Structure 1
């Protein structure tokens, strides 16, 4: 049994920067795919926008009610020289958008109840493979990497996509709302604790240290803890919630991949930690942009399409079903991380292009050494 400890290098600035670069390259690649701009995708996007707007209005009813009460009170009380009304309204907006993450919740609901994003991922993966072959058409075909789309298409989704197809809108909302409700309650509880005299200033720094220590180790967590003691509270809330949003978003964006390549819970946890810096850099910009009213769902679609490109850089092409030979176990740890992080941006398409005989033998040896029976804890 191998003990896994968080490694600071997983979350270093270079890894985060490379993730951000993959965001730009992946989005550019995805937007060049004419297959994304189909009638079906446009129709699904329009439905999602309307549904998201309706849910947002419903969830914001309490805030609208408070604002209405303040407006009515202005008939009897002169609020022109008062600031408490602005403080209440701004506070409610902050809690809605940053503490409870209502706009982000809407995007997560839409991805949980429709199989459209799975289709977007697979279509984009087909386009990534096609573009890869086109860019390397003058190279020796025997030296090119294997394709992702044809093989992943052969894998069963174990009912995950079919379940989303059969799930009603209301059922989807209820299932995800239960998960979101627990997370929102914790966030709101921590935010309320920050108002306790003397103890309050240490609540957010302590929560951030606990979170980051588990994910990336004590050094980054210590830096964030110290920053939390100096920065205003709303900056720390925004930072922490952006981090959590990016993690949740990345998990959702990778669902089409993990629906097919079935890792255990522990394997999946280590898979994410080993790639945490790149995944954060990739997802943080999308996590911010999906909160934009109306346009958020369209940006979500671009993010899913871009994830297809990301997969080809942080994983190896899967073998056909039934021929894994320890593939999943060997994929838990990211063995060629340093190759990707040190590669110049203009040469990203060359990454994992050619494998020498020694490289192939080494990777096969790694797979054989990682056959089922060797657990991470």
Structure 2
């Protein structure tokens, strides 16, 4: 529960707004290149949305034709059918979110946006602390992170194509959509249907964040209407998937093992959920979703500077750095920081300092700028 407590979620939500504000101050965010790529992404997303919604359009057209011969003004089943299909498309199958995943897998725009924003965060930090002793400042993120390859060796780079990324996203989405549809269909089964969503949510939350949040969600699922429960669960799943995609530029350079990455996410789960939940909802907005996704990626560069330490240059120290980053050492400092100081937080902690600070409940000497 400690990783997913309300304070951690609230702090993540605060980082959302501070990070977005910082990202939007970056003049490089509004370059012609980004605008052109955003326009292409919007048009592509609109085309894919139309293709995926063809079955819904077909049903609506059939109802329109039927209304010419049958008076449907006094009927309600047709409205329920259309609303149900829209709900399945947006909340169960998460079609708008799928579009964002497709865009991020076939274009390097978001990776470039992340790195440009990371450089901006570093420049802003140096500007704010130019009068201070350079040796007392935190290390920079962009110069060393830009040294890392995003593709590993050249052979893998040559074999990887945008089509490969599209196929990978499509397979993951298809598997997730099939499971979502199956669970949603089971909710209509008499007697056991009302327990399907609570049980599925308990299993997922218990596996991800522990039994206490899982128990709360399970109890809520027994009394809340099914529509609200589905929307909540899909928002949670979408936020997790979104956060994973937003952090891809970082993890494609700093290569954790699968187990290390799992612990990394679990240790920061509350903050990451709070950060990504608002973006997961906003990316569903038609047409504007792609632009919001870009702002989310730019904001993630700011988030990285709060929940990780600056990486060393590629080399022998990288493995030790990754091992030290699996656990979030400055969590208690960030979560207990007043919101007015949030933008100034930059902890520089070694393993020894971490032990000392966690065992002595005193104000840190030089934690805040």
In structure 2, relative to structure 1, the CA distance for the partners of 1:160 and 1:83 (3 Å cut) is: farther
Tell me the distance in 1 between the aligned counterparts of 2:164 and 2:47. Answer: 16
Shift of 1:62: 0.3
Tell me how far 1:165 sits from its aligned partner.
11
2:344: which partner in 1?
A: 350
Instruction: Give the one of 109, 116, 141 matched to 2:102.
Output: 109
Structure 2 counterpart of 1:260: 253
1:182 & 1:363 partners in 2: Cα distance?
Answer: 45
Out of 321, 330, 339, the position equivalent to 2:333 is 339
Preserved CA contact (<8 Å) 2:16 2:276: yes
Contact 1:289 1:296 in 2 (8 A): yes
Indicate conservation of the 8 Å contact 1:242/1:287, yes or no: yes
Once the two structures are superposed, residues 51-93 of structure 1 have per-residue CA deviations (whole angstroms, 9 ceiling, x without a partner) of: 0000000000000001111111111111010000000000000
What's the counterpart of residue 198 of structure 2? 205
**Which of 169, 176, 198 in structure 1 is aligned with 2:169?**
176
What is the deviation of 1:350?
Answer: 3.0
Counterpart Cα distance in 1 of 2:90 and 2:294? 21
In structure 2, C-alpha distance between the alignment counterparts of 1:225 and 1:164, rounded to whole Å: 47
Of 348, 352, 362, the residue aligned with 1:362 is 352
Deviation at 1:137, TM superposition (A): 1.4
Deviations 1:147-186 (CA, angstroms, capped at 9, x unpaired): 0000101111125999599734x55433321110000000
Instruction: Decide whether the 8 Å contact of 1:114 with 1:164 is kept in 2.
Output: no
Partner deviation per Cα, 1:103-140 (whole Å, 9 max, x = no partner): 11001100011111000000000000000111111221
Structure 1 residue matching 2:252: 3-state secondary structure: helix
Q: Is the 8 A contact 1:112 1:164 kept in 2?
A: no
Contact 1:113 1:164 in 2 (8 A): no
Distance in 1, Cα, partners of 2:43 & 2:231: 27
CA distance in 1, matches of 2:110, 2:295: 10
* SS in structure 1 of the partner of residue 140 of structure 2: coil
Q: How far apart in 2 are the matches of 1:19 and 1:330?
A: 22
Tell me if 1:299 matches 2:292.
Answer: yes
TM-score (norm 1): 0.90
Partner-residue secondary structure (3-state), 1:154: coil
Partner SS for 2:189: coil
Mind listing any 5+ residue stretches in structure 1 that lack a counterpart? 1-7, 367-377
User: Which of 161, 166, 183 lines up with 1:167 in the alignment?
Assistant: 161
CA distance in 2, matches of 1:101, 1:295: 16
Give the Cα–Cα distance (whole angstroms) in 2 for the partners of residues 312 and 294 of structure 1: 30
Provide the rounded CA distance (Å) in 1 between the counterparts of 2:153 and 2:68.
Answer: 55
CA pair 296-326 structure 1, distance change in 2 beyond 3 A: same
- 2:146 counterpart SS class: helix
Write the distance in 1 (CA, Å) between the matches of 2:31 and 2:238.
29
Instruction: Give the CA deviation at 1:233.
Output: 0.2
For residue 191 of structure 2, give the secondary structure of its aligned residue in structure 1.
coil
Per the alignment, residue 11 of structure 1 pairs with: 4
d(CA) in 2 for partners of 1:364, 1:94: 48
The answer to which of 198-207 and 340-349 deviates more is 340-349
Distance 1:164 1:12 in 2: 44
Secondary structure at the aligned position of 1:236 is classed as: helix
Equivalence for 2:303: 310
Question: Does the 8 Å contact 2:106/2:166 carry over to 1?
Answer: yes
Give the Cα–Cα distance (whole angstroms) in 1 for the partners of residues 40 and 159 of structure 2: 15
Distance 2:73 2:137 in 1: 69
Paired with 2:159 and 2:285, the residues of 1 have a C-alpha distance of 27
Q: What are structure 2's unaligned runs of at least 5 residues? A: 357-369
Instruction: Give the aligned partner of residue 369 of structure 1.
Output: none
C-alpha distance in structure 1 between counterparts of 2:158 and 2:45, whole Å: 17
Q: CA deviation at 1:230?
A: 0.2
Find out whether 1:237 has 2:227 as its counterpart: no
- 1:87 corresponding residue in structure 2: 80
Q: Distance in 1 between matches of 2:350 and 2:287?
A: 47
| 1:361 Cα deviation from its structure 2 partner | 6.3
| Alignment: residue pair count | 354
Task: Give secondary structure in 1 for the equivalent of 2:131.
Answer: coil
TM-score (norm 2): 0.92
Aligned mates of 1:360, 1:135 — CA distance in 2:
24
